[in-house]
Every structure is written in structure tokens, then in C-alpha cells.
């Protein structure tokens, strides 16, 4: 026997037992985003590599170390998308969307070559939400309010909001020089990555995960103390709206996010319940990105949340998502029934559009079929054999309660099933 082929390391299957959590998050998010006027978009998972180099930044961990980049057969450099914002902006520019559609969202897989660990995988899934063409702090606050509502509807607890402002690009440029001057005096304490970034992108030093550098980073000058007047006004309005909306937050002056395109508002929702992978959702404003990749100057803001981490939190909080088990399990006994039971199933589906029905028309024994019915978690088993065909009836057996088995005509069966669904019995 040949060796079994395993999934690629860090790229995981999502088994049926996990799907209710994913559907619960996706369905809840879709309902919330519909209520706020967002429209869904879907983009390819492969993009030209230059899109991410120009948007995310050459001197970031993502571009330097983590992207899945490869040449296609024509020699063009392609990359599996490591995040969705750049792809959404590219699609908006390419199709001239932003004059007509300002609120977009998407969900799907992203790819980064990292050391797999709980909550951090090489293929991971995000839900990404963006607003284009609106410059004010009001829309930054609205995105945070959307997330606050989403957490409530998911039953999430113990998520803390951290916010910061990175100022304008001009402010960031001045601050970079301030950081260079500061870290130059402590060059011997910098690790290899930070030493390199000192001359390429010193702001990324603040994003270092090296615990040995934590004290030095904490003592570095804070960007928020050097904000330009317009950015400070923007940040103060954000804080005021959140306070007026009863959304608690903490200002974290070291929060810079891992991407180069952010300006002004940045935020993260974090938890202490997932170990080192504390960030569940993050986002912010990126007013220069659309122009950077070839569109006209357009303000923009958005966020992305990690699906895998949300699923883990739902489990930790013992949130029970709704499951879509079958309402009825239809069993065919005998050759004649096996040829007719599908016609009955379609008649039931036509008469009861919301009905979830599983057909067992195989050649297994009646005992095994009933065992399969019980394992399906359906509340009812419908049995069709030779006698039922002769009498044009169906035997109805309750699987989750004690009651006598019934023989019903098709019309009475349809009425029974409609009544059970309307009464919310299932």
C-alpha cells in the first residue's frame, strides 16, 4: 500500500463537526453587514506579486518572509494573497467601483508562510470589511461599532479594544527620523531584524515580537505625542464617538499594525484567552493606498477578523451554534421502495420548501438503516416498504420521543411536517 497523502503543513481541513461554528460566524456577519449597507465582493486568491509589494510594503515580515510567491509558466511573478485589502482595492480600481459602491466586504482564505501554531496557520481565513471615499473619524468609529454589535450577536466576551493614531504620512516621515535617532543610541540592543529595519523602515521595530526588546521599545518616543493637528482632531473625534456609544477602549501608543499602508486610525480587538495569538481583529485607515496602486486619491478604512481565532473563542465560551441536521430521515426497504422513494422525497420537498430531508435508499438491512437514522440526529424517521407502497402510506417513527409508530397518507404526512415546522418543534 502506498503512503497516505497528508494535507500540507499549516493548511487544515475543516471537518463537518466544525462547520456549524463557521456558518454561525458567516451568517451572523452577513446579517449585520447587510443591516449597515455593505455589499459582498469576491476576488481571486492569486494576484500579481507587485500588488502586495507596493501596498503592504517591501520591508514587512509579510513581504520579506511570509508570502507564497512563484513564477507562472510565462515567468510572471504571482502570489497567493496574504491579506484581502490590497486585492479589494485592486478590484475596485480595475472595475471603477468606488464611484458607485463605497461599502464592500469579502471572506475567504489567505496564505502566509509562518511556523504553524494554534491560531496561526499557513492557510487561514479572514472576513474583510472596507469603506471607500469617506475621510472622517465617523466611519472609523462605525466600523468599530459594527464589530461591537457582531461580538454581542455571536455571544463573544472578554474582547478588549485598543486604538491608536499613526498620523499622516508626513507625520510618520518625521517620526521615523525621531526613531532612528533614538535607536541609534541603543544599536547594540537591537536584534538582527530591527538593526536592518533601522535603515529601511524603523516604524516596524515597534512591531517586534522579540520579548528581549520590549523594555527598549517601551522607552522609545511615542508617535501619538507628535501628531499633526488634523490627525489629532481626527483621533479625538474617534474617541468621543466611541465614548458616546458606550464602547470601552484603551489607547495603545505602541499599536502600529503590521502593514505599511495605514494612516491615522489603527485598532485591534484582543483577548488573553488564546495565548500568544491575542489579536482577533484589526484594522484602520489607509488613505494613500488606492493612489499607490494606480487609482485616484481616495480615503479608505477597514478591518479584517480571523475566522479560526473566532471559532476557538466560540468553543472556549461554550457558544452552541445552530446546527442544520435533517428534520426527517427517509428509509426505503425493499427493491420497489428503492425505485420510488426519491419521487416521494421530491414531493415532500416541493410541498415543504424549508424541510431538511435525508434519503437512505441503499440495500442495507432495516436494522442498519434505523441505526443510521438515529445517528443522523433527525427527530423523525419515515419508512417506506412493500406494505406502504401498496397502501400509498408512509410509516412515521419518532426518534427523540416515546410515541407509537403511525401510518399516514402522503397528504396527512405533509400536514404533520408543516405543523411541526410552523410550531418550531424542530
Q: Are 103 and 38 in contact (CB under 8 A)?
A: yes
CATH class of 19-167+227-316: alpha beta
366-384: pLDDT as tens digits = 999 999 999 999 999 999 9
Number of Cβ atoms within 10 Å of the Cβ of 257: 19
* Beta carbons of 164 and 263 less than 8 angstroms apart: no
Length of the chain: 426
Burial class, 277, CB count within 10 angstroms (exposed 0-12 / middle 13-18 / buried 19+): middle
Which residues of the chain are under the pLDDT cut of 70?
A: 1, 59, 258-259
**Could you tell me if 98 and 129 are in contact, meaning their C-beta atoms sit under 8 angstroms apart?**
no
Domain positions in the chain are 19-167+227-316, 328-422
| Gap between the Cα atoms of 338 and 171, Å rounded | 74
Dihedral angle sign, alpha carbons of residues 99, 105, 109, 115: positive
Rounded to a whole number, what is the distance in angstroms from the first to the last CA of the chain?
Answer: 46
**Cell 417513527, residue located:** 397
Q: According to the model, what pLDDT value does residue 67 have?
A: 93
- Whole-number percent of the chain with pLDDT over 90: 67
| pTM greater than 0.85 | yes
- Report whether 127 contacts 98 (CB < 8 A): no
In whole angstroms, how large is the CA radius of gyration of the chain? 28
CB distance 12 to 79 below 8 Å: no
Give the neighbor-by-neighbor strand order of the sheet with 46-48: 46-48, 77-80, 68-71
DSSP code for 8: P
Give the three cell numbers for residue 120: 496561526
What's the pLDDT at 258?
Answer: 63
- Render pLDDT for 123-165 as a digit per residue (tens, 0 to 9): 999 999 999 999 999 999 999 999 999 999 999 888 999 999 9
Domain 328-422: state its class: alpha beta
Amino acid at each position: 500500500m502506498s503512503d497516505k497523502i497528508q494535507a500540507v503543513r499549516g493548511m487544515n481541513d475543516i471537518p463537518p463537526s466544525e462547520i456549524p461554528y463557521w456558518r454561525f460566524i458567516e451568517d451572523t456577519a452577513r446579517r449585520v453587514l447587510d443591516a449597515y449597507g455593505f455589499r459582498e465582493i469576491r476576488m481571486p486568491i492569486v494576484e500579481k506579486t507587485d500588488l502586495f509589494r507596493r501596498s503592504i510594503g517591501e520591508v514587512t515580515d509579510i513581504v520579506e518572509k511570509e508570502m507564497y510567491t512563484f513564477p507562472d509558466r510565462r515567468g510572471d511573478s504571482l502570489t497567493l494573497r496574504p491579506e484581502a485589502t490590497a486585492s479589494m482595492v485592486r478590484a475596485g480600481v480595475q472595475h471603477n467601483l468606488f464611484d458607485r459602491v463605497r461599502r464592500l466586504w469579502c471572506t475567504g482564505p489567505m496564505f502566509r508562510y509562518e511556523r504553524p501554531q494554534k491560531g496561526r496557520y499557513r492557510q487561514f481565513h479572514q472576513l474583510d470589511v472596507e469603506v471607500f471615499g469617506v475621510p472622517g473619524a465617523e466611519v472609523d468609529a462605525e466600523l468599530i461599532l459594527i464589530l461591537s454589535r457582531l461580538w454581542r450577536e455571536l455571544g463573544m466576551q472578554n474582547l478588549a479594544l485598543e486604538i491608536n493614531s499613526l498620523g499622516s504620512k508626513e507625520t510618520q516621515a518625521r517620526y521615523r527620523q525621531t526613531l532612528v535617532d533614538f535607536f541609534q543610541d541603543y544599536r547594540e540592543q537591537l536584534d538582527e531584524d530591527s538593526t536592518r529595519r533601522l535603515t529601511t523602515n524603523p516604524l516596524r521595530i515597534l512591531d517586534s515580537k522579540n520579548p528581549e526588546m520590549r523594555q527598549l521599545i517601551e522607552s522609545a518616543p511615542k508617535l501619538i505625542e507628535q501628531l499633526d493637528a488634523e490627525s489629532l482632531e481626527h483621533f479625538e473625534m474617534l474617541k468621543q464617538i466611541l465614548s458616546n456609544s458606550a464602547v470601552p477602549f484603551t489607547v495603545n501608543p505602541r499599536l502600529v499594525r503590521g502593514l505599511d499602508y495605514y494612516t491615522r486610525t489603527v485598532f485591534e480587538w484582543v483577548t488573553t484567552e488564546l495565548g500568544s495569538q491575542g489579536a482577533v481583529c484589526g484594522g484602520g485607515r489607509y488613505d494613500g493606498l488606492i493612489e499607490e496602486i494606480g487609482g485616484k486619491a481616495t480615503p479608505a478604512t477597514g478591518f479584517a477578523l480571523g475566522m479560526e481565532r473566532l471559532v476557538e473563542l466560540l468553543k472556549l465560551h461554550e457558544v452552541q451554534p445552530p446546527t442544520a441536521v435533517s428534520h426527517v430521515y427517509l428509509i426505503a426497504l425493499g427493491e420497489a421502495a428503492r425505485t420510488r422513494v426519491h419521487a416521494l422525497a421530491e414531493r415532500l420537498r416541493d410541498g415543504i420548501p424549508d424541510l431538511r430531508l435525508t434519503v437512505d435508499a441503499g440495500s442495507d438491512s432495516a436494522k442498519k438503516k434505523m441505526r443510521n437514522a438515529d445517528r443522523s440526529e433527525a427527530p423523525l424517521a419515515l419508512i417506506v416498504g412493500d406494505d406502504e407502497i401498496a397502501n400509498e402510506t408512509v410509516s412515521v417513527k419518532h426518534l427523540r420521543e416515546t410515541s407509537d409508530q403511525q401510518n399516514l397518507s402522503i397528504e396527512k404526512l405533509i400536514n404533520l411536517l408543516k405543523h411541526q415546522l410552523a410550531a418550531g418543534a424542530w
